[in-house]
Amino acid sequence: MARKSQVNNGGVLTDSGSDQAPNPKSQAPLALILFGPPGSGKGTQAKLLVKTLGIPQISTGDMLREHVRKGLAVGTKVEAKMKAGILVKDEVVNRLVEERLAQPDAVRGFILDGYPRTRAQAETLCGMLAAKGWDAVVIHLVVDYNVIIARLTGRRQCPVCGTLYNEVSKPPKVAGVCDLESAALIVRDDDREEVIRQRLEAYESQTRPLIEYFREKGKRLYGVDASHETPEAVFRKIEVLIRKP
Ligand code: ADP
C-alpha cells in the first residue's frame, strides 16, 4: 500500500505518520534503501543496521571496487569512470545487484547502499521488488552541502580492510594508521576535490530526482537529518522508523 511522504520548506522529507512502515514482524523481507548524497553516511549506517537487523549490506560502490581490485572484466570497464566520479552504466550495476540479490543470504532482506542512483536503476529495482513481493523502505539521509564537503575531503580509508576514518570527526588512534590493520591510510582516488565535485553533480542531476520517483511509486520514504548528529544518534532514529508498527 502506498504511503505519502511530505517535503517541508527546507526540502527535508518527514515521516507522514502512516501506519504502513515495515516492522520486523512483517512476513515480507525488507528491502531497506539508504538514500543520500556521497558523504551522507550511508555506508556507516548500513554497517550499524547489519548488526541489528541481521540482513546483509549491499553496496554497489564496494562491489564495483572489488571487481576493480581483483582485475575482473567488470572492473576494467568501470575503473576510469569511478576514478572520475561518473556513474557506471546502469546495465552493469543492475546485473551486479540482480546477481547479488539471488544469493541465499538476501532472502530475508537486505540493505541497499548506493543503489539505485538513476531512474533506470530505480525501475529495475522496483520491478524486482514487485516480482518478489518484498517490502521496501527508503531512508533519505539529509545533509548540508558544507558538511558533505568537510566529510569527504577529510576521509581516509584502510587499503586492507576498507575501514573509513575522518581526520576531524573519526580519527584513528594513531594519525594516518588503521586501528585494525596497522596499514597506512590512503585517500580514495574519488575523494580528491575535483572528483568530489563531479560526484555531487552526478547526485544532483541523476540521483536526487529519484525522491520524486519513490513518492510517485508510493514507496515508504523517511527523511532523517544526518548533518548534525552522531552516527549512533542517526542510527537510533532509523531504527525507530523501520520498527514502527
Ligand atoms: P559515494 O556514495 O561516496 O559516491 P560509492 O562507493 O557509493 O561512493 O560509489 C563510488 C563510485 O562507484 C561512484 O562514483 C560510481 O562511479 C560507482 N557507483 C557506485 N554505485 C553506483 C550505481 N548504483 N550506479 C552507477 N555507478 C555507481
**Residue 206: what pLDDT?**
97
What are the angstrom distances between the C-alpha of 140 and each of 12, 74, 237, 239? 9, 29, 12, 13
| CA of 17 relative to ligand 1 center, distance in Å | 32
Helix then strand then coil, in percent of the chain rounded to 5, is 45, 15, 40
Residue 4 pLDDT: 38
Query: Residue 90: is it exposed, middle or buried by C-beta count within 10 angstroms (0-12/13-18/19+)?
Result: middle
Q: 63 C-alpha vs ligand 1 centroid, how far in Å?
A: 10
Q: Give pLDDT, residue 27.
A: 65
Residues contacting ligand 1 via CB (< 6 Å): 38, 60-61, 64, 81-82, 85-88, 93, 114-115, 117, 121, 190, 199
Q: How far is the CA of 32 from the centre of ligand 1 (A)?
A: 18
Query: What interhelical angle do 193-202 and 145-153 show, nearest 10?
Result: 140
Q: Is the distance from CB of 212 to CB of 185 less than 8 angstroms?
A: no
Amino acid 190: pLDDT: 83
pLDDT of amino acid 150: 86
- Given the C-alpha cell 576521509, which residue does it identify? 155
User: Which of 40, 12, 11 has the alpha carbon at shortest distance from 222?
Assistant: 12
- Nearest-atom number in ligand 1 for the CA of 85 is 14
CA of 126 to the centre of ligand 1 (A): 19
CA–CA gap between residue 110 and residue 242 (Å, rounded): 13
Give the pLDDT means over successive 10-residue stretches in the chain (245 positions). 35 37 60 96 94 95 94 93 94 97 94 98 96 93 91 91 88 96 92 90 96 94 93 95 81
Please tell me the number of Cα atoms within 13 Å of 162 on its side-chain side. Answer: 10
The closest residue, in CA terms, to atom 18 on ligand 1 is: 61
The residue assigned the cell 552504466 is: 89
pLDDT at 21: 37
Which residue among 82, 164, 203 has the greatest number of ligand 1 atoms within 8 angstroms of its CB, and so is best to mutate? 82
DSSP type of residue 170: B
Q: Give pLDDT, residue 41.
A: 92
pTM, rounded to two decimals? 0.84
Contact, 180 vs 199, CB < 8 A? no
Owner of C-alpha cell 528491502 = 31
By most ligand atoms within 8 Å of CB, the mutation choice from 87, 100, 196 for ligand 1 is: 87
Question: What is the structure's pLDDT at 1?
Answer: 37
Q: Within a 10 A sphere around the Cβ of 130, how many other Cβ atoms? A: 11
- pLDDT on residue 26: 56
pLDDT (0 to 100) of residue 20: 38
